[in-house]
């Protein structure tokens, strides 16, 4: 059986970071990530099949348009509900990371949330592990995993998941500096 990569997307975390920290408003549909590009990027980068799991908090009504779009591009949507104080997406992703310990598979987490460090760390056991997000908003705890071989993929710069450049403020390595971007 061919080895595969599981991609666990914390959609709420990515969307909140994009809206609150980068755009300072709710993203327009054209400003949201093209999630199919993440699957394609990881298939190319790690040269193996990718299974995308997209975790959604669905308190009340299921966002059918979005769910159908996810299905069409190859994700398995996982709509979740729970009590008002339960972080259902975080709980489900943590449980999924724990379940992956017993599988011969690689894993990529799309989130900035340090809450996953405890369940992601045991997977850094020789398998490939990656994190996807916006580098400047990644928690320090997740960033520490890079020293153990965890790979990082910036959703905009590596994955190229956006149709337009985002208004991000980031530290630019001098060899990547293009003054034309600022003129």
d(CA 125, CA 82): 32
Res 91: pLDDT:
96
7: three-class secondary structure by DSSP: strand
Radius of gyration (C-alpha) of the chain in whole angstroms: 16
Alpha helices in the chain (DSSP H): 11-16, 35-46, 64-72, 88-100, 117-120, 140-143
What's the pLDDT score for residue 182? 81
Q: pLDDT per residue over 131-169, tens digit each?
A: 999 999 999 999 999 999 999 999 999 999 999 889 887
Q: What is the mean pLDDT of residues 81-89?
A: 92
Q: Is the pLDDT at 1 greater than 80, yes or no?
A: no
Question: Is this structure's pTM higher than 0.85?
Answer: yes
Is 14's pLDDT higher than 80? yes
Return the structure tokens found at 19: 């809206």
The pLDDT value recorded for residue 169 is 79
CA–CA gap between residue 50 and residue 156 (Å, rounded): 19
Question: pLDDT-based confidence at 94, cuts 50/70/90?
Answer: very high
Question: What's the confidence (pLDDT) of residue 171?
Answer: 77
Band of residue 172 on the pLDDT scale cut at 50, 70, 90: confident
Domains of the chain: 5-138+147-171 (3.40.50.1010)
Across 106-121, average pLDDT: 96
Average pLDDT over residues 45-55: 97
What's the confidence (pLDDT) of residue 170? Answer: 77
């Amino acid at each position: 059986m061919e080895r595969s990569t599981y991609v666990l997307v914390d959609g709420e975390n990515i969307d909140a970071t994009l809206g609150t920290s980068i755009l300072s408003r709710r993203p327009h549909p054209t400003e949201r990530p093209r999630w199919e590009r993440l699957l394609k990027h990881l298939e190319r980068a790690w040269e193996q099949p990718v299974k995308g799991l997209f975790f959604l908090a669905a308190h009340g009504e299921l966002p059918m348009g979005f769910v159908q779009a996810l299905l069409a591009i190859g994700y398995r949507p996982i709509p979740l509900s729970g009590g008002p104080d339960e972080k259902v997406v975080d709980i489900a992703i943590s449980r999924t990371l724990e379940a992956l310990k017993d599988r011969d598979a690689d894993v990529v987490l799309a989130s900035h949330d340090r809450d996953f460090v405890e369940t992601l760390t045991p997977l850094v056991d020789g398998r490939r592990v990656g994190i996807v997000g916006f580098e400047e908003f990644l928690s320090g705890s997740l960033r520490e995993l890079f020293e153990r071989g965890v790979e990082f993929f910036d959703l905009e710069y590596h994955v190229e998941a956006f149709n337009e450049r985002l208004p991000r403020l980031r530290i630019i390595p001098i060899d990547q500096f293009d003054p034309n971007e600022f003129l």
